[in-house]
Amino acid sequence: MRQWQFGQSNGSENLELTDVTAPQPGPGQVLVRIRAASLNYRDTLLVKVADGYTPGRVPLSDGAGDVIGVGAGVSRWSIGDRVAGTFFQDWISGRFEMRYHQAALGGTVDGALREEAVFPEHSLVRVPSHYSHEEAATMPCAGVTAWYSLILRCGFQPGDSVLLIGTGGVSVWGLQIAAASGGRPIVVSSSQEKLLKARQLGAAETISSAATPDWDREVFRLTSRRGVDHVLEVGGPGTLKRSLSSVAAGGKIAQIGVLTGFGPSDASLFPLLTKNATMSGIYVGHRDAFEQLVRFVEQTQLRPVIDRVFLFEEAPAAFQYLASGRHFGKVVIRV
Ligand SMILES: NC(=O)c1ccc[n+]([C@@H]2O[C@H](COP(=O)([O-])OP(=O)(O)OC[C@H]3O[C@@H](n4cnc5c(N)ncnc54)[C@H](OP(=O)(O)O)[C@@H]3O)[C@@H](O)[C@H]2O)c1
């Protein structure tokens, strides 16, 4: 069977397509024929940063497919079931533990960019019945992160306003979840064209960061000088200051992303205190959150936004496309 893996030196141009022996499921394991995988910003980082780069690693945390084999003792799955893997294979529910980092798909263990893979049976989730494999493959990282942040960590309530920064995978999932739950999504993007699409998905307000670089002032104005109840903070050090200024008193900031880098922020933390606001560090979410999200999209019939589907053979081009930032929503690879 074929798989993509990181080459000897980093860079998406050095991804290698190889032929390897198909894996066999051991006790408690499930063999999945992967049909689709999706990319996240993390994958564009992992393929390029020299630090921690693992030659031979199969990339991508997000894959969906069909069960084609089960090992001894497997009770949760049968052949033919449609499943997706969880980002952290061992985080089922409850508080995060550092040991979960030892089994992060596409990071510390081989990921989804291959035709067949074995998974521990506890690390799989049944995918929504109305989703294609491509749609299901958008869920494990971006979908679960948005759900876990907004619903489980921020305690979103209908009527709440939610600030989404940019229109990538996490933000568009966040926009859709908020809109489908009776929230008031406010989207900031560098592109007018993407803001139009955000409106069509239910954004109540849109702000062009190109036309309005101090977009936090506009957030304040649009919320009658109250601020937003929740911020899905995917920007990191370069946007934190504006997120802190955008959040309402008693509001919540889910600190998710690093789009502006890993360095320190010049943001004063004083607004956090004066507003009695809460900031939570987020790393995707657990299997329970994923299963909740599946029930939610089945109930609401919400469908994820796929910008473009690449063929398996075109994987390096898919990495380059995501890194270009031209996408709206998710970029998927058909396996
Ligand atoms: N902690 C976690 O659990 C977790 C999980 C998933 C993702 N993340 C992180 O969250 C971030 C988003 O991930 P993703 O996969 O959704 O990314 P993505 O799909 O690549 O989306 C990136 C989008 O964000 C906007 N953007 C890019 N650079 C920006 C900047 N400097 N300032 C403001 N906006 C910017 C752009 O949207 P516009 O063109 O519309 O402006 C761009 O298309 C990444 O840092 C990722 O590592 C963290």
For ligand 1, atom 35: residue with the closest CA: 166
Q: Give the rounded distance of the alpha carbon of 308 from its chain centre.
A: 16
Q: What is the pLDDT of residues 237-286, one digit of tens each?
A: 999 999 999 999 999 999 999 999 999 999 999 999 999 999 999 999 99
User: Are the C-beta atoms of 72 and 87 separated by less than 8 Å?
Assistant: no
Atom of ligand 1 nearest to the CA of 282: 1
Give yes or no for residue 13 having a pLDDT over 90: no
Q: How far apart are CA 180 and CA 146, in angstroms?
A: 13
Burial of 203 (0-12, 13-18, 19+ CB in 10 A): buried
Closest CA to 235 of 260, 203, 268, 200: 260
* Mean pLDDT, the chain, integer: 97
Q: How confident is the model at residue 334 (pLDDT cuts 50, 70, 90)?
A: very high
How far, in Å, is the centroid of ligand 1 from the Cα of 50? 21
Distance of alpha carbon 328 from its chain centroid, rounded? Answer: 13
Q: What is the pLDDT of residues 120-160, one digit of tens each?
A: 999 999 999 999 999 999 999 999 999 999 999 999 999 99
Task: Give me the pLDDT at residue 50, please.
Answer: 66
Instruction: Give backbone dihedrals phi and psi of 183, rounded to 5 degrees, phi first.
Output: -95, 180
Instruction: Give residue for tokens 């995060």.
Output: 96
Tens-digit pLDDT profile for residues 15-49: 999 999 999 999 999 999 999 999 999 999 999 87
Question: pLDDT value at position 140?
Answer: 98
Region 213-226: what's the mean pLDDT?
98
DSSP β-bridge partners for residue 32: 67, 117
Instruction: Please work out whether the CB of residue 138 comes within 6 Å of at least one atom of ligand 1.
Output: no
Region 225-231: mean pLDDT is: 98
- Amino acid at position 9, single letter: S
| Cα gap 290→124, rounded to integer Å | 10
pLDDT tens track for 90-99 = 999 999 999 9
Q: Are 8 and 38 in contact (CB under 8 A)?
A: no
Our answer on whether the CB atom of 165 is closer than 6 Å to any ligand 1 atom is: yes
Q: How confident is the model at residue 81 (pLDDT cuts 50, 70, 90)?
A: very high
Q: Is the CB of 285 under 6 A from ligand 1?
A: no
Residue nearest to atom 10 of ligand 1 (CA): 257
Q: What is the pTM of this model?
A: 0.98
- The domains of the chain, with CATH numbers, are 2-138+304-334 (3.90.180.10), 143-281 (3.40.50.720)
Candidates 184, 189, 221, 218; CA nearest to 202 is: 184
pLDDT at 52 over 80: no
For ligand 1, whether the C-beta of 40 sits within 6 Å is: yes
Choice among 5-14, 182-191, 204-213, 283-292 with the minimum mean pLDDT: 5-14
Look at the block and give the residue holding tokens 């360095």: 263
* Residue bearing the bigger pLDDT, 12 or 324: 324
CA nearest 144: which of 103, 97, 71, 91?
Answer: 91
Cα(first)–Cα(last) distance of the chain, in Å? Answer: 11
Percentage of the chain lying above the pLDDT 90 cut: 96
Question: What are the start-end ranges of the E strands in the chain?
Answer: 2-5, 16-19, 29-39, 62-70, 82-85, 116-120, 124-126, 161-165, 184-189, 205-208, 228-233, 247-255, 278-281, 306-311, 330-334
The answer to whether residues 84 and 63 touch, using CB atoms and an 8 Å cutoff, is yes
Tokens of 232: 């899905």
